[in-house]
C-alpha cells in the first residue's frame, strides 16, 4: 500500500514537472514573439534594476529590461501600456536618461537605439517601437531646464492637450478659467488656443524665447 | 559620507525628466504639493503596476538568473494569489526563512520552487478557476505557517 502511494506520488510529481517545463518553454517562446529580429539572439541581463550615477549630475534610473547583444552592448526596453501603438518623446527622454545612468554608473555600453514596448491593456499584445536615444549633452540641457523649473526661476509650460488636462488632478489649480464642461467636451478654450498649436508629441505649448 | 547622502537626496529620477516632457506645469505642481491622482489615474497606475509585475515575472521565466533590484526571489505563486505584501504572502515568506532555509531539503525545495513558480504563477494569472482552487489548497499551508511561526521565533 505504502509502495503504491509512493509510486503514485512520484508519477504525480513527474507529471507536474513535465507540465511546468513545457509551460516554461511555451512562455519563453511567447516572450520571444514580440522581440525584434536583432534581439532574438540577445540574452536578458537586467529586469527592474535601479542604476545611479553622480556624474555629470546625480541621477536615478530604474530600467524595465536590458538585453545583452552578442557584441556585449545593452539594449534598453521600456514597457508602456497604451491603446495606441505609439512612442512619445517622454519615452525617449526616459530611456536616454536610463542610458546615461548605466553608462556612467555601471560603465556599460548601451546601444544608441532603445525599445519602447507598447502593451495593449486588453489584448496584452506587445509592439516594440525602436527610438533613437538622446545624447548626453541633450540630457544635460533637459536637466538644467528641470532644475530651473523646480527652483521656480522659469515659468513652466502648460500642456496644450485637452485630453491630458481632462485627466489631470491639478486642472482646477492650473486652468481655473476652463470649465469642466469644456474639458469634457474636449473643446479647446480660446485663451489656451492663442498660446499656440501642439508640438510633436505630448502637446506642449511652444517654449518662450526668454527661457 | 554626508556629501554622498546630500548628492543622493539631490538626485533626480529619469522618470522626472520624462514627466517634464509631458507637462512642465504638472511636474512643478507635483514637486510643490506632492503627487496627486484622479480616480481614473489611480486605476491606470494600478494597472501599470500589474503590467510591470507581469513583465518582471516573465523576465524570470526567460532567465531565472536575471539581475534585478526587486526583492528577489519572491513568493511568485503567493504574490499572484494574494498580492506581494499580503499577510498570507508574508506568512509563507516567514515559513521559507524560519523553517525551510534551516534544512538542506528545504533549501533544495526552495530552489526548485523558484525555478518553476514563475511559469505556474503566469498560468494562474490567466485561469481564474484554477486560481481559486490553488488558493483553497494553499490556505491550510498559510494557516499552518501563521500558527507555527510565532513558535519558531
Q: For residue range A45-62, what is the model confidence (pLDDT) as tens digits?
A: 999 999 999 888 899 999
The pLDDT value given to residue B2: 58
The pLDDT value given to residue B1: 53
The pLDDT value given to residue A51: 92
Of B14, B63, B122, the CB nearest to A94: B14
**Which stretches of chain A score pLDDT less than 70?**
175-211
Between positions 36 and 65 of A, the ones with CB within 8 A of B are 43-50, 52, 54, 57-62, 64-65
DSSP string covering A184-200, please? HHTPPPHHHHHT----S
Distance from CA of A13 to the nearest CA of B (A): 12
The β-bridge partners of A127 are: A118
Name chain B contacts of A195, Cβ cutoff 8 Å.
none
Name chain B contacts of A43, Cβ cutoff 8 Å.
63
Can you tell me the distance from the alpha carbon of B19 to that of A93, in angstroms, rounded to the nearest whole number? Answer: 9
The pLDDT value given to residue A117: 94
Give A189's contacts (C-beta < 8 A, 6+ positions apart): A175, A177, A178, A182
Name chain B contacts of A58, Cβ cutoff 8 Å.
7-8, 10-12
Name chain B contacts of A168, Cβ cutoff 8 Å.
23, 26, 38
SS3 B118: helix
Name chain A contacts of B28, Cβ cutoff 8 Å.
149-150, 152, 156
Inter-chain CB proximity B17 and A94 less than 8 Å: yes
Instruction: Kindly identify which residue of chain A lies nearest to residue B18, measuring between CA atoms.
Output: A90
The pLDDT value given to residue B74: 64
Q: Does A13 contact chain B (CB < 8 Å)? A: no
**Which stretches of chain B score pLDDT less than 50?**
153
The pLDDT value given to residue A64: 93
Distance of CA A197 to the CA centre of its chain: 26
The pLDDT value given to residue B79: 82
What count of other Cβ atoms lies within 10 Å of the Cβ of residue A163? 12
Can you tell me the distance from the alpha carbon of A68 to that of B41, in angstroms, rounded to the nearest whole number? Answer: 34
Is there a contact between B148 and B99 (Cβ–Cβ < 8 Å)?
yes
Inter-chain CB proximity A49 and B68 less than 8 Å: yes
Interface test with A, best of B6, B62, B79, B130 (most A CBs within 10 A): B62
Inter-chain CB proximity A20 and B66 less than 8 Å: no
The pLDDT value given to residue A11: 83
Q: Does A167 contact chain B (CB < 8 Å)? A: yes
Per-residue pLDDT tens digits for B114-132: 877 877 887 888 888 888 8
Inter-chain CB proximity A64 and B10 less than 8 Å: no
Burial B15-31 (b: 16+ CB within 10 A, else e): bbbbbbbbbbbbbbbbb
Can you tell me the distance from the alpha carbon of A155 to that of B28, in angstroms, rounded to the nearest whole number? Answer: 10
The β-bridge partners of A60 are: A52, B13
The pLDDT value given to residue A179: 57
Distance from CA of A1 to the nearest CA of B (A): 25
Distance from CA of B109 to the nearest CA of A (A): 13
Can you tell me the distance from the alpha carbon of B44 to that of B40, in angstroms, rounded to the nearest whole number? Answer: 6
Inter-chain CB proximity B58 and A27 less than 8 Å: yes
Inter-chain CB proximity A173 and B27 less than 8 Å: no
Can you tell me the distance from the alpha carbon of B46 to that of B103, in angstroms, rounded to the nearest whole number? Answer: 38
DSSP string covering B87-113, please? HHHHHHHHHHHHTGGGSHHHHHHHHHH
What residue has cell string 492650473? A174
Q: Is the ipTM of this complex over 0.85?
A: no
Q: Does A139 contact chain B (CB < 8 Å)? A: yes
Amino acid at each position: 500500500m505504502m509502495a503504491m502511494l509512493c509510486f503514485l506520488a512520484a508519477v504525480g510529481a513527474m507529471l507536474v514537472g513535465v507540465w511546468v517545463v513545457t509551460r516554461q518553454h511555451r512562455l519563453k517562446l511567447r516572450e520571444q514573439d514580440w522581440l525584434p529580429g536583432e534581439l532574438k539572439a540577445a540574452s536578458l541581463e537586467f529586469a527592474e534594476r535601479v542604476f545611479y550615477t553622480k556624474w555629470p549630475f546625480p541621477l536615478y534610473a530604474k530600467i524595465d529590461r536590458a538585453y545583452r547583444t552578442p557584441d556585449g552592448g545593452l539594449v534598453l526596453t521600456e514597457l508602456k501600456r497604451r491603446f495606441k501603438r505609439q512612442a512619445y518623446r517622454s519615452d525617449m527622454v526616459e530611456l536616454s536618461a536610463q542610458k546615461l545612468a548605466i553608462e556612467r554608473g555601471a560603465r556599460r555600453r548601451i546601444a544608441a537605439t532603445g525599445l519602447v514596448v507598447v502593451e495593449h491593456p486588453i489584448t496584452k499584445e506587445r509592439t516594440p517601437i525602436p527610438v533613437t536615444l538622446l545624447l548626453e549633452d541633450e540630457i544635460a540641457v533637459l536637466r538644467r531646464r528641470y532644475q530651473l523649473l523646480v527652483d521656480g526661476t522659469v515659468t513652466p509650460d502648460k500642456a496644450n492637450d485637452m485630453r491630458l488636462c481632462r485627466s489631470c488632478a491639478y486642472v482646477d489649480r492650473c486652468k481655473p478659467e476652463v470649465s469642466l464642461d469644456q474639458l469634457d467636451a474636449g473643446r479647446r478654450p480660446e485663451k489656451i488656443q492663442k498660446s499656440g498649436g501642439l508640438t510633436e508629441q505630448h502637446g506642449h505649448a511652444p517654449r518662450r524665447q526668454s527661457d | 559620507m554626508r556629501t554622498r547622502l546630500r548628492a543622493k537626496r539631490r538626485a533626480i529620477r529619469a522618470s522626472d525628466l520624462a514627466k517634464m516632457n509631458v507637462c512642465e506645469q504638472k511636474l512643478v505642481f507635483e514637486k510643490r504639493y506632492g503627487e496627486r491622482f484622479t480616480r481614473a489615474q489611480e486605476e491606470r497606475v494600478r494597472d501599470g503596476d500589474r503590467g510591470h509585475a507581469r513583465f518582471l515575472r516573465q523576465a524570470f521565466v526567460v532567465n531565472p538568473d536575471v539581475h534585478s533590484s526587486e526583492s528577489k526571489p519572491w513568493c511568485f505563486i503567493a504574490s499572484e494569489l494574494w498580492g506581494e505584501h499580503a499577510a498570507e504572502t508574508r506568512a509563507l515568506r516567514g515559513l521559507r526563512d524560519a523553517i525551510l532555509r534551516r534544512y538542506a531539503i528545504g533549501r533544495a525545495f526552495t530552489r526548485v520552487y523558484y525555478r518553476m513558480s514563475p511559469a505556474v504563477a503566469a498560468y494562474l494569472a490567466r485561469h481564474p478557476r484554477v486560481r481559486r482552487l490553488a488558493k483553497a489548497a494553499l490556505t491550510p499551508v498559510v494557516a499552518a505557517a501563521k500558527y507555527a511561526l510565532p513558535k519558531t521565533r
